[in-house]
């Protein structure tokens, strides 16, 4: 028995010894290390196996790009475990107090090294398996290993608490390492086994799909890749995100993965959630606004029925009230969390000094720091994101309501606001109000921030905190005058910019006339002068901004100096912990001090924008009761006006239309005629309800279609312009094309009816635009058709065809009211209304009113006088038969030409696409050359090193001043300070003054360089634009150019210099923090290296998508503005077709297209910032753990506290560096876009520099023009328009150029003015080849009245004499000659009478007469009339022709006209047919030859003029 007991005791002793051996740290580390090394070896063998076997496993594509959320969490957890073990490995090596190699501690080191390598290998393996190989299921090895790791980690934690802690040998870092390992082990196992079922289900589905689609797998791999990445564009990632995904912004992952693989297009950008679209937000906003207006209306208050600024603001806030409250909560949490760090620093310094109040105090402090930092990061990220979401909703609501209002404005409201001003309300004011979302909580937050700061300061420094309060108030008050100055300068800057943009917009719209007249450089100088006014305010604004920057950076230093000075005066001891706590508080307080004036300024700006929008929304709408609309078919009377009196200006004593009484029955054709300015167009407008009614009634029975005198064509395809929202009926469509003579034109155009039309129909002739308009009206199949003189823009043959096929054919059973100057179209009317001075002076059928009054007789008589010249020509009696035969002959010729053109067109289509292309968008990263060119543009980059030097000195002095305070202040009251208090404060003040001076120098130099660069870029871009050939303006929508001149230029003026500076300064500050924190222990830099590396990897990953999203935002903004501008200019047409809702829907779509990349840009930024914040928080946590782990006295507590003070800003600064880099890449796109327009191919030189060619000042003295084998096309990929034209225009002769629409008449004139240079051939004027002389030398000596009459905003004087070269007497003489003298004398201001935008307050005919006045003043030797009298009546045309014959008796006059009578008295007639000269001789000789094409044209005109179309 004793022996047995003895053996039991021996066994238990051995067991105890064995347990002791097992629980020894050396054994535990050895076993744990062995397990990790074993896993590392297995992974290495598997990797080698794959390498040698060629990786022949099946790599399948993931449905969700980049792996599932489970996979990503697993990868990052393994990565963090590797980083954790790396930190402790480095820590053990450098800070172990005993001999590592003799104490057996080397096994612990090897364990940590093995763990580090193993977890990095597992992380790499998982990344390779899931991200690249496309595996869906976690490997069995990993599952087994993670389960084992969790059991081992749990065992170690139990041993730590149950054994080592009792024995009193538990090391702090061992506990931290084991606890962290257990935590990460739990996460890994949760990820592995929670995601298992989902993964297995997905795999089962994939197997089924593989079996079904096995035979399709290989060929469709590439297509699947594209579909996989593009599918995200059809869903809302945000709306479908889960809680964890929303919290971490992981829902942005699929989009960023797609953007990392390919260049993002709009189709790749996910949809918005329904509640973020215009359809989601606008009804809520509209309902709120209407309820507030209605409520006040019922209350009967003053201005109750108006939309006031308060009501508008209230509606906006309550339409986003959820975001408003949620962001307020986030802001509150963020504000509280930011002050936790400064409050705890004093306690932390005391702890490091050895003053420890309870066990594990250091860990509690670290936990408090980290929890506060995490709360700060999370709340800030979601606060900023939700603010931007609210801003997008607000902008969408405002753009929608502004657009809707723009379509309903009355004429008086439109006259009071230019379209540029209205567009600015949408583009600038709505944007500014949406940006206010960033500031909406700042006003109440600043009070909480200041209060919290004072509480912390009072706890640390006592009564000295009131000195800090006083200093803070002084700084804020100092910001007030600076803020007011800045606001004033910004307001003036915006006003001057508005004026410049208005002038630029008008100039770009009328660039053709400016180039024809040789005025473009004069108008460029006007733009440059306007820019000088703007830069005067810009300079004041940026230098005031420099002062504000100085105050911002100097504020913490100033408050610190005052506070510490007060402490010394009051005898309050300065201890390092309290000093550092105060410095950290001042740094946090810096933001509200700086932001307050900015916030106040933004409030004021937003108030101004709200005022402007509310005043716009209060403008008068079209009166809905002007026209009484009856249901179609409810009355036999289609149009009835009784006692009608209408006036465009209700305040005018002389109404536009008066005493109107007429009735139009269903199915009647009504013609309206009269002299220029008699009120014909106004009559049609009053029928449509566009003219304000003074008295009377207007009744309309049925739907309407309207064809305006000035064609309104939308940007887009010809087919879309004709269908105008209707469904395609191919048979009906083809019939209408035939009736409108469009089929031949469409066959010639490169893409037929799919050809994209440029802005305002720029790539169509005047006649083609009118015919597209007519086709649009016919296709609409309305009950009542209103035509405003559409036949003036087409030739006689086409006009006859249109009248016969459209008005008398397709519309024979419809009610038609047509204004016309062609008397030959009047006999077919059932009713003719003769207008004069706004009254209907005669009404009836043609024969009835012919003898009943003088007004109609004057019109008919002028027409008959014009035809009298034809009487001497003996026309064959069988003209109709001849005409028929000629017509077939003409068709044969047309077919031959058509075949040739088709061949050229096919060739053209192969070479290039549409004339108007989608806006050019750079792809990939912005080239370094863009940055370099921008940086060295001002003073060749001389200021850049000085700016960087000033910032580095500032940073050094700042760190020096804080280091001085941390070193010189004692850690506690009982420690002897190293220097006296006076020396302490003197040195601090000296360093503070030095740093403030450096920041002032830096700020001033930065804005100087930015201002100079902006000025140089503006001048260079505008010079290149104004010198660009006309093809550039034809193929580039005005909105694109205006975007660069406004939005992009604004970025270059103020945004980009600050952004570039901020990035450089943030880098310098981050390096400063790293230096300070590394001073505590240089080993900390080992943590910074991987963290900064990962941060930059994230940045590169993010920027691929963010850059393209920013570009898409820029590209998607222009179409909104362009569509709004088009809708404003064509609002009458839109309303007449009852298309308001469709246009509003298009606007909604365009706004959502803009909001999509905008929303996801915000999401992408917060995705990045969240991850950077987490990385910096990990770095900060490691630093804190390191500080509390070192023995007391190993590190100076003051220096450690300084490191923590700077470390508190680490997450903000690290994110700021990356954010600045990303934002800079986004903003630098504006520079890139401007540089695009500084390299536009230029026109030939303006003046002749060659010594061999010197023009006489009287050139051309003869006016002889020789065309030699002229071959012209508009672009290398397009067909020839002129195909070998050779002829001579003798000096002093009058030549008429005639031909069908599209025969090349206008092209010939453009070639004469060198708007287009011939591909082959030459033009000689007085024996000088015009291609050898300067453009201005040529154009300034020629005169032209263009086809599209142009007037500029200003006065009558400035329109006739823009270069200010003539006296008032000369101007009056010119006005009298062009039949406008009496009209201008009636005006109160005479020559200074205002001309509104585009000359809208003058009729089209009057505008053409003003153009005639210009050439009468110039009196050139060569005059070109390009359809100069198309919009005037025959009588006025006759007077104009007499004036030209008298005033230009010795000049060479070239006349293009559709009225044959306008060219019959010419000396010569040139007839063009498909770009070739068909005939060139005197009119008499051509008429003698009955087979000549000219004779046929005249006979056609005669038939049309002398016969009725009723047959």
Query: Which segment of 527-531, 1074-1078, 1125-1129 scores lowest on mean pLDDT?
Result: 1074-1078
What gap in Å lies between CA 1224 and CA 1001, rounded to an integer?
Answer: 23
pLDDT in tens, 1341-1390: 888 887 777 787 778 888 888 777 788 888 888 888 877 787 888 777 77
What gap in Å lies between CA 1122 and CA 760, rounded to an integer?
Answer: 11
What gap in Å lies between CA 830 and CA 670, rounded to an integer?
Answer: 6
Closest C-alpha among 783, 839, 741 to residue 636? 783
User: What pTM, to 2 d.p., does this model score?
Assistant: 0.70
- Contacts of 554-557 with C-beta under 8 Å, sequence gap 24+, read 554/995, 554/996, 554/999, 555/475, 555/586, 555/589, 555/590, 555/593, 555/594, 556/583, 556/586, 556/587, 556/589, 556/590, 557/958, 557/961, 557/992, 557/995, 557/996
Q: What is residue 1126's predicted lDDT score, i.e. its pLDDT? A: 84
pLDDT in tens, 431-447: 888 888 888 888 888 88
Closest C-alpha among 1146, 966, 1172 to residue 1070? 1172
Going by pLDDT thresholds of 50, 70 and 90, the confidence category of residue 212 is: very low
What gap in Å lies between CA 1359 and CA 1348, rounded to an integer?
Answer: 15
pLDDT in tens, 635-694: 888 888 888 888 887 777 778 888 888 888 888 889 988 877 788 888 888 888 888 888
Q: Percentage of residues in the chain with pLDDT exceeding 70?
A: 79
CA of 460: how far to CAs of 559, 565, 1073, in Å? 15, 15, 24
CA 668 to chain centre: 49
Q: What is residue 234's predicted lDDT score, i.e. its pLDDT? A: 64
Return the residue matching tokens 């026309």.
875
CA of 1377: how far to CAs of 1127, 1372, 1413, 1436, 1443, in Å? 37, 9, 8, 12, 6
What gap in Å lies between CA 1324 and CA 1305, rounded to an integer?
Answer: 18
Cβ neighbours, 10 Å, residue 663: 15
Cβ neighbours, 10 Å, residue 774: 28
The mean pLDDT of 845-856, rounded to a whole number, is 74
3-state helix, strand, coil in the chain (%, to 5): 65, 10, 25
Phi, psi values for residue 1255, rounded to 5°: -80, 135
Per the model's pLDDT, the better-predicted residue between 770 and 202 turns out to be 770
pLDDT in tens, 1104-1139: 888 888 878 878 887 888 888 888 888 888 888 888
Beta strands in 1342-1467 (DSSP E): 1342-1345, 1354-1355, 1394-1395, 1422-1426, 1452-1456
The answer, yes or no, to whether residue 141 has pLDDT greater than 60, is yes
C-alpha torsion sign, points 578, 583, 586, 591: negative
Query: Which segment of 443-452, 696-705, 856-865, 1437-1446 scores lowest on mean pLDDT?
Result: 856-865
Q: Give the per-residue SS3 of 992-1049.
A: HHHHHHHHHHHHHHHHHHHHHHHHHHHHHHHHHHHCCCHHHHHHCCHHHHHHHHHHHH
Instruction: Provide the token pair at 1093.
Output: 């590396």
pLDDT in tens, 1029-1048: 887 887 777 777 887 888 78
Going by pLDDT thresholds of 50, 70 and 90, the confidence category of residue 906 is: very low
Instruction: Provide the token pair at 1092.
Output: 């900064």
The mean pLDDT of 461-473, rounded to a whole number, is 81
Cβ proximity of 171 and 44 under 8 Å: no
What gap in Å lies between CA 1359 and CA 506, rounded to an integer?
Answer: 13
Q: What is residue 225's predicted lDDT score, i.e. its pLDDT? A: 37
Cβ proximity of 397 and 285 under 8 Å: yes
Q: What is residue 3's predicted lDDT score, i.e. its pLDDT? A: 57
pLDDT in tens, 230-254: 455 567 788 887 778 888 888 888 8
The mean pLDDT of 1050-1054, rounded to a whole number, is 84
CA 871 to chain centre: 63
Region class of 925: left (phi > 0), else alpha (psi between -120 and 50), else beta:
beta
Query: Which segment of 163-167, 213-217, 576-580, 1024-1028 scores lowest on mean pLDDT?
Result: 213-217
Going by pLDDT thresholds of 50, 70 and 90, the confidence category of residue 5 is: low
Residue 389 sits at the vertex; the CA angle it makes with 388 and 392, to the nearest 5 degrees, is 85
DSSP one-letter string for 490-532: HHHHHHHHHHHHHHHHHHHHTHHHHHHHT-HHHHHHHHHHHHH
DSSP one-letter string for 453-491: HHHHHHHHHTTHHHHHHHHHHHHHHHHHHHHHHHHHHHH
CA of 313: how far to CAs of 308, 598, 605, 830, in Å? 9, 20, 13, 56
In sequence order, what are the beta bridge partners of 817?
Answer: 670, 786
The mean pLDDT of 970-981, rounded to a whole number, is 69
What gap in Å lies between CA 624 and CA 619, rounded to an integer?
Answer: 14
Phi, psi values for residue 296, rounded to 5°: -65, -30
Phi, psi values for residue 1346, rounded to 5°: -75, 170
Full strand arrangement of the beta sheet holding 815-819:
704-707, 784-788, 815-819, 669-674, 831-836, 839-844
On average, the pLDDT of the chain sits at: 76
The answer, yes or no, to whether residue 930 has pLDDT greater than 70, is yes
Cβ proximity of 1204 and 991 under 8 Å: no
Return the residue matching tokens 């001789």.
1481
Q: What is residue 908's predicted lDDT score, i.e. its pLDDT? A: 33
The mean pLDDT of 319-337, rounded to a whole number, is 86
Cβ neighbours, 10 Å, residue 919: 17
Residue 145 sits at the vertex; the CA angle it makes with 141 and 147, to the nearest 5 degrees, is 120
Phi, psi values for residue 549, rounded to 5°: -60, -40
C-alpha torsion sign, points 1338, 1339, 1343, 1348: positive
Cβ proximity of 590 and 552 under 8 Å: yes
């Amino acid at each position: 028995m004793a022996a047995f007991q003895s053996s039991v005791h021996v066994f238990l002793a051995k067991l105890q010894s064995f347990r002791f051996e097992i629980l020894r740290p050396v054994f535990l580390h050895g076993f744990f290390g062995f397990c990790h090394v074993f896993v590392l070896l297995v992974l290495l063998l598997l990797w080698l196996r794959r390498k040698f076997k060629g990786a022949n496993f099946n790599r399948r594509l993931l449905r969700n790009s980049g792996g599932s959320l489970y996979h990503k969490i697993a990868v990052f957890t393994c990565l963090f475990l590797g980083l954790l073990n790396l930190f402790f490995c480095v820590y053990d090596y450098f800070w172990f107090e005993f001999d590592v190699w003799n104490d057996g501690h080397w096994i612990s080191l090897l364990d940590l090294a093995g763990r580090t390598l193993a977890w990095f290998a597992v992380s790499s393996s998982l990344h390779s398996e899931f991200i690249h190989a496309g595996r869906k299921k976690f490997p069995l090895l990993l599952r087994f290993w993670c389960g084992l790791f969790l059991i081992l980690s749990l065992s170690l934690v139990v041993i730590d608490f149950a054994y080592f802690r009792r024995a009193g040998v538990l090391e702090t870092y061992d506990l931290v390492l084991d606890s962290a390992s257990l935590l990460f082990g739990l996460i890994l196992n949760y990820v592995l086994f929670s995601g298992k079922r989902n993964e297995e289900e997905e795999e089962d589905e994939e197997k089924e799909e593989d079996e079904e689609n096995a035979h399709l797998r290989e060929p469709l791999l590439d297509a699947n890749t594209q579909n996989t990445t593009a599918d995200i564009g059809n869903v809302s990632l945000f709306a479908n995100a889960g809680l964890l995904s929303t919290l971490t912004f992981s829902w942005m992952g699929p989009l960023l993965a797609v953007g990392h693989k390919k260049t993002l297009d709009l189709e790749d950008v996910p949809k918005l959630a329904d509640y973020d679209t215009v359809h989601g937000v606008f009804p809520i906003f509209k309902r709120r606004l209407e309820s507030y207006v209605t409520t006040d209306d019922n209350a009967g208050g003053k201005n109750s029925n108006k939309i006031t600024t308060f009501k508008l603001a209230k509606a906006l806030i309550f339409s986003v009230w959820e975001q408003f409250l949620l962001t307020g909560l986030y802001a509150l949490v963020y504000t509280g969390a930011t002050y936790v760090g400064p409050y705890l620093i004093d306690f932390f310094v005391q702890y490091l000094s050895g003053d420890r109040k309870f066990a594990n105090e250091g860990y509690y402090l670290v936990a408090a720091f980290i929890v506060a930092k995490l709360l700060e990061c999370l709340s800030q990220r979601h606060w900023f994101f939700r603010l931007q979401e609210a801003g997008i909703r607000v902008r969408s609501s405002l753009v929608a309501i502004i657009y809707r209002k723009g379509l309903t404005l009355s004429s008086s409201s439109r006259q009071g606001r230019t379209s540029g001003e209205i567009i600015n309300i949408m583009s600038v004011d709505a944007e500014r109000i949406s940006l206010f979302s960033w500031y909406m909580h700042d006003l109440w937050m600043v009070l909480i921030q200041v209060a919290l700061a004072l509480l912390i300061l009072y706890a640390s420094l006592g009564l000295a905190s009131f000195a800090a309060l006083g200093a803070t108030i002084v700084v804020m008050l100092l910001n007030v005058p600076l803020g007011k100055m800045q606001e004033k300068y910004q307001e003036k800057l915006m006003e001057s910019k508005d004026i410049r943009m208005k002038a630029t917009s008008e100039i770009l719209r009328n660039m053709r006339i400016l180039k024809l007249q040789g005025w473009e450089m004069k108008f460029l100088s006007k733009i440059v002068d306007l820019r000088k006014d703007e830069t005067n305010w810009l300079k004041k604004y940026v230098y005031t901004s420099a002062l504000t920057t100085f105050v911002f950076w100097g504020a913490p230093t100033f408050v610190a100096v005052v506070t510490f000075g007060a402490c010394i005066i009051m005898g309050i001891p300065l201890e390092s912990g309290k000093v550092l706590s105060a410095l950290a508080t001042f740094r946090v307080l810096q933001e509200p001090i700086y932001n307050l004036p900015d916030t106040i300024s933004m409030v004021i700006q937003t108030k101004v924008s709200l005022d402007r929008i509310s005043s716009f929304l209060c403008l008068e709408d079209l009166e809905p009761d002007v026209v009484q609309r009856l249901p179609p078919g409810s009355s036999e009377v289609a149009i009835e006006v009784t006692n009608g009196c209408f006036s465009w200006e209700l305040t005018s004593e002389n109404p536009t239309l008066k005493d109107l009484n007429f009735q139009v029955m269903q199915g009647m054709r009504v013609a309206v005629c009269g002299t220029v300015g008699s009120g014909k167009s106004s009559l049609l407008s009053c029928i449509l309800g566009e003219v304000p009614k003074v008295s009377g009634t207007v009744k309309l029975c049925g739907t309407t279609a309207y064809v305006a005198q000035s064609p309104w064509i939308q940007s887009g395809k010809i087919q879309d312009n004709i269908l105008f929202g209707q469904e395609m009926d191919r048979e009906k469509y083809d019939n209408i094309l035939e009736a409108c003579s469009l089929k031949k034109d469409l066959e010639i155009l490169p893409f037929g009816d799919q050809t994209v039309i440029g802005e305002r129909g720029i790539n169509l002739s005047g006649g083609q635009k009118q015919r597209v308009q007519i086709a649009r009206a016919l296709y609409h199949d309305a009950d009542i058709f209103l035509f405003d003189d559409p036949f003036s823009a087409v030739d006689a043959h086409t006009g006859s065809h249109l009248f016969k096929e459209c008005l008398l054919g397709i519309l024979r059973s419809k009610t038609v009211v047509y204004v016309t100057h062609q008397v030959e179209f009047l006999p077919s009317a059932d009713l003719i209304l003769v207008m004069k001075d706004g009254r209907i002076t005669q009404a009836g059928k043609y024969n009835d009113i012919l003898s009943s009054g003088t007004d109609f007789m004057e019109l008919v008589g002028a027409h008959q006088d014009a035809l009298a010249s034809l009487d001497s020509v003996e026309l064959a009696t069988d003209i109709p038969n001849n005409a028929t035969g000629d017509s077939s002959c003409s068709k044969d010729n047309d077919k031959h030409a058509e075949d040739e053109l088709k061949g050229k067109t096919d060739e053209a289509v192969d070479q290039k696409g549409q004339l108007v292309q989608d806006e050019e968008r750079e792809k990939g990263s912005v080239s370094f050359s863009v940055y370099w060119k921008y940086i060295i543009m001002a003073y060749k980059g001389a200021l850049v090193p000085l700016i960087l030097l000033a910032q580095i000195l500032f940073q050094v002095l700042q760190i020096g001043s804080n280091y001085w305070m941390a070193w010189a202040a004692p850690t506690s009251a009982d420690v002897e300070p190293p220097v006296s208090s006076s020396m302490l404060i003197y040195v601090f003040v000296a360093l503070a003054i030095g740093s403030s001076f450096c920041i002032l120098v830096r700020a001033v130099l930065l804005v100087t360089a930015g201002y100079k660069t902006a000025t140089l870029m503006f001048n260079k871009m505008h010079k290149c634009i104004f010198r660009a050939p006309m093809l550039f303006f034809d193929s580039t929508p005005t909105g694109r150019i205006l975007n660069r001149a406004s939005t992009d230029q604004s970025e270059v003026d103020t945004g980009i210099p600050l952004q570039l500076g901020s990035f450089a300064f943030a880098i310098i500050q981050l390096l400063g923090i790293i230096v300070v924190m590394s001073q505590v222990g240089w080993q900390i830099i080992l943590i910074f290296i991987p963290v900064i590396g990962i941060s930059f990897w994230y940045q590169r990953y993010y920027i691929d998508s963010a850059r393209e999203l920013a570009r898409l935002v820029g590209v998607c903004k222009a179409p909104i503005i362009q569509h709004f501008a088009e809708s404003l200019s064509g609002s009458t047409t839109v309303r007449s077709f009852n298309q308001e809702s469709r246009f509003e829907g298009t606007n909604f779509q365009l706004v959502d297209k803009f909001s999509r990349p905008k929303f996801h840009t915000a999401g992408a930024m917060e995705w990045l910032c969240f991850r950077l914040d987490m990385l910096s928080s990990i770095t900060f946590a490691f630093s804190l753990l390191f500080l509390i782990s070192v023995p007391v006295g190993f590190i100076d507590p003051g220096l450690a506290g300084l490191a923590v003070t700077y470390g508190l800003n680490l997450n903000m600064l690290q994110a700021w560096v990356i954010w600045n880099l990303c934002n800079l890449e986004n903003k630098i796109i504006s520079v890139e876009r401007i540089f695009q327009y500084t390299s536009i191919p230029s026109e030939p030189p303006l003046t002749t520099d060659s010594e061999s060619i010197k023009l006489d000042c009287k050139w051309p003295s003869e006016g002889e023009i020789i065309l030699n084998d002229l071959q012209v096309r508009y672009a290398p990929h397009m067909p020839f328009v002129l195909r070998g034209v050779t002829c001579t225009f003798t000096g002093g002769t009058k030549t008429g150029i005639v031909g069908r629409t599209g025969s090349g008449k206008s092209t010939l004139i453009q070639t004469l003015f060198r708007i287009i240079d011939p591909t082959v051939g030459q033009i000689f004027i007085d024996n000088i080849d015009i291609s050898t002389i300067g453009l201005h030398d040529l154009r300034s000596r020629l005169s032209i009245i263009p086809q599209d009459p142009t007037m500029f905003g200003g006065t009558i004087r400035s329109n006739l004499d823009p270069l200010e070269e003539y006296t008032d007497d000369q101007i009056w003489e010119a006005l009298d000659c062009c039949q406008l003298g009496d009209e201008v004398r009636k005006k109160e201001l005479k020559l200074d009478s205002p001309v509104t935008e585009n000359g809208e307050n003058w009729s089209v005919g009057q505008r053409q007469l003003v153009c005639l006045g210009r050439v009468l003043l110039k009196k050139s030797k060569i005059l070109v009339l390009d359809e100069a009298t198309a919009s005037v009546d025959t009588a006025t045309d006759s007077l104009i022709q007499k004036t030209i014959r008298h005033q230009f008796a010795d000049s060479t006059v070239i006349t293009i006209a559709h009225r044959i009578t306008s060219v019959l008295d010419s000396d010569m007639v040139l007839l063009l047919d498909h770009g070739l000269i068909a005939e060139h001789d005197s009119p008499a000789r051509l008429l003698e030859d009955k087979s000549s094409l000219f004779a046929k044209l005249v006979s056609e005109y005669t038939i049309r003029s002398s016969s009725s179309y009723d047959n």
